Amino acid sequence: MGRRRDRPGQVLDPVRVLETLSRLQARIDERFPGSGLARVAGQLVETGGHTARRARNLSRPYLGLQALVALVAAAALSLQAFVLQRIDWTPVWRRNDILAVTQGLDSAVNLTVLSAGAIWFLVGVERRWKRARALRDLYRLRAFAHVVDMHQLTKDPSVVLAGARPTASSPPRVMSEPQLLRYLDYCSEMLALISKLAALYAAHTRDVEVISAVNDIEELTSNLGRKIWQKITILSQLRDADDPPALTG
């Protein structure tokens, strides 16, 4: 059977994700120039470029490390062959000395086990390196999600529409209703794109811990996005209540 190839549209395209993220950053900067959310979007664009490259590298072998594994394996086999050749087996077989045969075989088996353990350790090093790098990047994406949530935390639609008098400790609220709506929408889009950046890692690895971390980020961004859409829904409902539809007929 031939190797199965994914059709276009079945695999998340990192180029499209980065294009969408760059376009979102430009939209935020045009609508809210110099804002904290625009700076976060710019940082996320830069991180997204690194993420796409590192996620792609997860499916590529570390040739230097694999060459080292092959060298260790060759050295182990050569050493084992050298040890076996240095043993004079003729007297052992002539005397039919089972104990001597057992000791010789025991030495050979121990050498084989040690060599296999060293090779297995080196093979696992590549997997652990890739996992550590992926988890470090995913933790950074998780931090970005919390930063986006902090930016929308004080954006209360009911306060904006009701025009409540601020207190001395109230955060500044200078956005109009349309601006607040766009701001919340931008936050929701940014969270969705953070989830897509995390999903790039799941597309290039089968490591259980990495996939679990990706799922955690997807769940986190989904929950944070749900809170934002609740605010958008409240904003729409309050706006409709203040502007009843015109009578017709």
Residue-wise pLDDT tens digits, 218-242: 999 999 999 999 888 888 776 665 5
Other C-beta atoms within 10 Å of 144: how many?
23
User: Which region among 117-126, 153-162, 185-194, 215-224 has the lowest average model confidence (pLDDT)?
Assistant: 153-162
Contact in structure between 134 and 37 (CB atoms under 8 Å): no
What does the mean pLDDT of the chain come to? 79
- Tokens representing 188 are 């929701």
CA distances from 108 to 46, 77, 89, 97 (A): 54, 11, 13, 17
Residues making up the chain, counted from first to last: 249
User: Which region among 66-80, 128-142, 144-158 has the lowest average model confidence (pLDDT)?
Assistant: 66-80
Rank 5-9, 21-25, 124-128, 161-165 by mean pLDDT and report only the highest: 21-25
- pLDDT tens-digit readout, 60-110: 776 676 777 777 777 777 777 776 676 665 665 565 655 555 665 666 677
pLDDT tier for residue 140 given thresholds of 50, 70 and 90: very high
**In this prediction, what percent of the chain has a pLDDT beyond 90?**
36
Residues 6+ apart with CB under 8 A from 228: 152, 184, 187, 188, 191
User: DSSP letter at 2?
Assistant: P
Q: What is the pLDDT of residue 149?
A: 94
How many helices and strands in the chain, by DSSP H and E? 8, 0
Q: What is the pLDDT of residue 246?
A: 42
